[in-house]
Structure 1
């Protein structure tokens, strides 16, 4: 035990939360690699970069006033005040309520949640969103959407918290909010040129998708386990149910896809694992391991079906953010109302008792979960819609790249860099030696090792290293 001015903090709990902070940070480039692998190779670098820029932008916002808006006690039931702006007035000499950690430890941990949420949302904008307006959007969205929803759900003074809704690690503030924002942004941007011309594009690098899934799955142990805010049996239980739900979700999605072509899909397994992780997030501190099986099964099946909404309603959510995060978060919130148990909450030794869900005969919990879910999801969708529509009318902040930039690729047109210089040079070598013939819509067929790579209608240039 370590002491500060006679107020004691558990060094083990503090260390556990700080390690969890690092794990959640690790998820953000994981999302970048996941999205990068799903996109066309000429847009791969921009997606990884935007996820990393999200960390920097939200860090600045969180320090100046974001944390205060989300967790200050000086506001009302809808939003916090500015008392803790610039990280002033953090209660460094008192534990954060119901924990053995300082508020500064809590604040830096919660920063990672705030940073990853807009990074998740921008996956729907892949391959046609301009870089600078996206950065501005991240700042505005975190301030106007994430911070209020986080306050509703997690602040002691938030209306959803007072109502009795249960959300352990971000079913509504992180996943439903990012999924709703992704849908609104995608609707305003409209469909990608390549999607309109050629149908659904194929991922450029499935190994990056697997790498991103590994990073996300690993980091999720800090995301859910760390939300216990201490090294205790409740944190262990959260990690167990997280791993179990992800495993069941991945197997369910993969088997459900198997019925179509009789093949096991790596992308399907990764998508199912992520859906299981999303669904268990709001419930991980409230449910037992057997209950986690239901979360993986239901999310793996329903999130898979939800990906078909793109075709039904003709919108272009490039990385299925709405299907996985919004639908998965909603499933998790509702199943929490069924499987939450007070006995799991009491494993940490310091949390106040809860009434639980259906298993504890608390039938009204479903109403609380629906109220939390619908309020957060609808607010995020319509607030995001207003943000992007207004931005689109401001000179210099138009959201969509020009047709020429989209054809060339966001990496080259906006960054002047490429994720695959070696491949660009190999293609150029084939072009210069004439070992190719032109395919429809700018596709290239070579008689060497490269097949059906993109040559951008005469725009391919020798890249400089």
Structure 2
């Protein structure tokens, strides 16, 4: 089946369109090409991979004693969002029958009437597939926000926050710009894959959550360094892979706009990564893997709202600008005294704003028309559409203000509920979120090593009793007593592996 000149390959003329079609009397697949449907299904799976990618990224950036809790938070929030999106999230965000411009109705509650009719986002795919693909966007957005709880946030309140944040913040902003009746959509805002709903909402939302949580303890910040750069790299690569489904799939079909979106995403990412690394090198005189990953992510974020609008050469400039601006934006948290632990605002909020501004300047009508559907849409200054820039800026201000205020109110409200305090105790923070919240650890050998070191004397005391009292050591008490009890002289301890096998036996 080939495409018509513009629009869908075959015009939908099925029965019961308001109900999504009647599969008992007609083949609902006939209105769509298998290639488009297959591509968006694969893109959905690619976007889902971004959730554990964020977990690995945050885990590597944190201390090892809180590493697993961040992976749990990302995946746990995705589970909550999946139910919320099915329950009423999709209807509140993208129900095509909503007309108020700010929030959807409940006519798609529990995905009712959501089957084989063309989606409100594009006639190239059915609404059932569109709702599934958009669910992954919501899950990624909330998983990004979970970086705010790093090393001090409790998990149960974070999951409660997830449900209300998705309902009261993500869904309305998504409705503004992607619902055909949303005020931003009608206003002419150009936001391809989520500069507002995904990037500003996650970056500003994480900033508000961090503000309510408060700073980590000062003694926890001494000599702070990411505990596992390999995990950071793995998380970045998974995110990059998923982002090609995120930006490429937002063309809602296997078409040339999807191809140029992937090209723009890669160009912006690599230019931002190289720029960030060079900025860090001028200070440290060493090449930074963490800096490279930070730059790549900032570039991918900046490409999110812009990759389906910009010519390829504009992505080069966008990458350089995002590398410079987001690098310096990491200092904002010191100016406003908010402990944005994972720099979510700098790398997501600021980069998303930058991509939206670039749309006002460099969006091109011929790039928009590459999907074969959106012909005739005017771009930005390249098409002499001078008003587009202030339209973009007004949208950025609205998304930022709404997200920060409502997110802060949600956090304060949850924090006042008995048993749902957002922040862990001081003792729990020192112990680590993995031990306090999960009782499991990212690295089980760490526990064995802790016991091993607890009863191994320092080198200078190998041949004499250790001056350190057993009670002052951490680890298993019986092991500590071996120092000043039955074994005053140092004895060669078993290796950690031998000790672990002994415990198992």
Normalising by structure 1, we get a TM-score of 0.92
8 A Cα contact 2:62 2:150, kept in partner = yes
8 A Cα contact 2:29 2:116, kept in partner = no
User: Residue 49 of structure 2: SS of its match in structure 1?
Assistant: helix
**2:172 pairs with 1:148:** yes
The correspondence of residues 68-79 of structure 1 with structure 2, limited to 5 A, is 68-75=91-98, 76-79=100-103
Q: Alpha-carbon deviation of 1:92? A: 1.5
Q: Alpha-carbon deviation of 1:315? A: 1.8
Which of 197, 203, 207 is the equivalent residue of 1:179?
203
Q: Alpha-carbon deviation of 1:288? A: 1.3
Which residue number corresponds to residue 259 of structure 2? 236
Cα deviations across residues 193-223 of structure 1 (Å, max 9, x unaligned)? 2x45544621010110000000000110000
Higher radius of gyration, 1 or 2: 2
8 A Cα contact 1:125 1:317, kept in partner = no
For 2:29 and 2:109, how far apart are their aligned partners in 1? 26
The correspondence of residues 9-408 of structure 1 with structure 2, limited to 5 A, is 9-75=32-98, 76-94=100-118, 96=120, 98-193=122-217, 195-199=218-222, 201-408=224-431
Q: Alpha-carbon deviation of 1:459? A: 5.7
For 1:335 and 1:460, how far apart are their aligned partners in 2? 56
Quote the RMSD (CA, aligned, Å): 2.0
8 A Cα contact 1:4 1:93, kept in partner = no
Structure 1 runs (4+) deviating above 6 angstroms are 462-465
Cα deviations across residues 318-362 of structure 1 (Å, max 9, x unaligned)? 100011111001111101111100000111111242210111111
Which of 397, 410, 413 is the equivalent residue of 2:433?
410
For 1:377 and 1:34, how far apart are their aligned partners in 2? 25
> CA, structure 1 residues 91+97, in 2 after alignment: closer, same or farther (shift >3 Å)?
farther
For 1:94 and 1:88, how far apart are their aligned partners in 2? 15
Count matched residues: 447
8 A Cα contact 1:337 1:356, kept in partner = yes
For 1:338 and 1:377, how far apart are their aligned partners in 2? 20
Cα deviations across residues 158-193 of structure 1 (Å, max 9, x unaligned)? 000000000000011001111111111111111112
Normalising by structure 2, we get a TM-score of 0.85
8 A Cα contact 1:98 1:351, kept in partner = no
Q: Alpha-carbon deviation of 1:64? A: 0.7
Cα deviations across residues 269-323 of structure 1 (Å, max 9, x unaligned)? 0000000000011011111111101111011000000111122222211100011
8 A Cα contact 1:7 1:94, kept in partner = no
For 1:382 and 1:436, how far apart are their aligned partners in 2? 56
The correspondence of residues 413-428 of structure 1 with structure 2, limited to 5 A, is 413-428=436-451
Unaligned runs of 5+ in 1: 438-445, 448-456
8 A Cα contact 1:58 1:139, kept in partner = yes
Q: Alpha-carbon deviation of 1:73? A: 2.5
Q: Alpha-carbon deviation of 1:122? A: 1.6
> CA, structure 1 residues 97+224, in 2 after alignment: closer, same or farther (shift >3 Å)?
closer
For 1:20 and 1:5, how far apart are their aligned partners in 2? 21
For 2:453 and 2:326, how far apart are their aligned partners in 1? 42
User: Residue 283 of structure 1: SS of its match in structure 2?
Assistant: coil
Q: Alpha-carbon deviation of 1:411? A: 0.5
Cα deviations across residues 95-152 of structure 1 (Å, max 9, x unaligned)? 5553321100000000000001111012022000001000000111000000000000
Which residue number corresponds to residue 441 of structure 1? none
Unaligned runs of 5+ in 2: 2-9, 11-25, 463-471, 478-499
